[in-house]
């Protein structure tokens, strides 16, 4: 009996020895509570951040879609303006390089409009006033690039390579490039051996650079910039140009510098009605429309570029790019 009592007493002493005081137990509980709160705050913070991110993504997607449809609305307004022109021969380019459809009209067209939660703005360019890169002769191409200030050696390379890119054979011009050159590049691709589908395709041709074609980045490449792309086209069926809208850089090449100066002098006061050779005309059927839609504060924009062909009483889109940056 005494032995049993001693054992119980020993056990009680051991238990009392390891038993925490009320203060210690409260401290452990407080630490546990703090850790639980930290974990909960982290979970709530992560959830809140995820929700804000999802909300911003959804809002940006919605405003991006709105900007796209505003750009489409601008295209439709531009088409309506083109189709409303009663006499295509009265088209001309104003001093600020804006294409207008009626010299007799006193009011300049408004090519931007607030619409709903955003706005659109568009411009129209005449493709018939440009040099067709697919149909231009070798002499015309060389003169064009030389007039633009390029070195003669660079011009020989670019022009020879353009003609090799367009023709259907594998024969090299002296300074041109065919399949073997393009296959030897670090990222090889094939020589097209066919007409260019767009002016942008010139960037694939040996010797051509973005700076030559589009001008410096800061010049606004989506709108043509200061580069040579603003004078070039692949949309028209031949190399005839509208002498009432073509810039001097194109007139000099297609006609002669003397004829170009004479036409520009005539255009200052009236429409040109007398044709200057077989490469000229006085009206246009192909137009480029560049339309930009934006949200209210202008932070989100979408730009669409299309080339349309006026055919009968309507317009047919022959080129479309809604990923203009």
Indicate if the pLDDT at residue 105 is higher than 60. yes
Distance CA 131, CA 135 (A): 8
CB atoms within 10 A of CB 66: 20
Q: Which residues contact 323 (CB under 8 A, 6 or more apart)?
A: none
Mean per-residue pLDDT for 224-252? 89
Q: Is 229 exposed, middle or buried (0-12, 13-18, 19+ CB in 10 A)?
A: buried
Number of H helices, E strands in the chain: 8, 11
The domain limits of the chain are: 2-40
* pLDDT-wise least confident of 139-143, 218-222, 263-267: 218-222
User: If you average pLDDT over every residue of the chain, what do you get?
Assistant: 86
- Average pLDDT of span 109-118: 89
Total-model pTM: 0.79
What are the tens digits of pLDDT across the range 306-322? 999 998 889 999 999 99
11 has pLDDT over 50:
no
pLDDT tens string 85-97: 888 788 888 878 8
Query: In the predicted model, what is the mean pLDDT of residues 65-88?
Result: 92
| 179 vs 85, more confident | 179
Res 279: pLDDT = 78
């Amino acid at each position: 009996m005494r032995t049993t009592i001693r054992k119980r007493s020993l056990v009680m002493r051991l238990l009392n020895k390891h038993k925490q005081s009320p203060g210690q137990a409260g401290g452990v509980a407080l630490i546990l509570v703090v850790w639980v709160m930290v974990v909960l705050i982290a979970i709530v913070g992560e959830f809140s951040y995820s929700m804000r991110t999802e909300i911003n993504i959804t809002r940006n997607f919605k405003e991006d879609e709105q900007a796209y449809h505003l750009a489409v609305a601008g295209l439709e307004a531009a088409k309506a303006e083109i189709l409303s022109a009663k006499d295509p021969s009265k088209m001309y380019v104003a001093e600020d390089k804006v294409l207008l459809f009626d010299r007799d009209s006193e009011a300049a067209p408004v090519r931007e409009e607030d619409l709903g939660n955003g706005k659109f703005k568009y411009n129209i360019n005449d493709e018939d006033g440009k040099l067709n890169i697919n149909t231009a002769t070798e002499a015309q191409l060389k003169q064009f690039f030389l007039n633009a200030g390029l070195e003669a050696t660079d011009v020989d390379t670019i022009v020879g390579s353009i003609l090799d890119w367009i023709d259907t054979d594998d024969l090299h011009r002296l300074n041109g490039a065919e399949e073997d050159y393009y296959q030897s590049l670090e990222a090889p691709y094939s020589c097209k051996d066919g007409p260019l589908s767009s002016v942008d395709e010139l960037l694939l041709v040996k010797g051509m650079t973005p700076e030559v074609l589009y001008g410096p980045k800061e010049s606004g490449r989506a709108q043509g910039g200061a580069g040579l792309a603003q004078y070039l086209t692949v949309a028209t069926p031949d190399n005839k140009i509208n002498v009432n809208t073509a810039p001097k850089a194109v007139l000099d090449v297609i006609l002669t510098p003397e004829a170009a100066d004479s036409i520009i002098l005539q255009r200052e006061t009236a429409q040109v009605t007398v044709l200057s050779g077989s490469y000229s005309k006085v009206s246009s059927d192909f137009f480029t429309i560049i339309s930009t839609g934006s949200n209210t504060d202008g932070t989100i924009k979408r730009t669409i570029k299309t080339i349309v062909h006026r055919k009968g009483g309507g317009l047919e889109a022959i080129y479309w790019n809604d990923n203009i940056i």
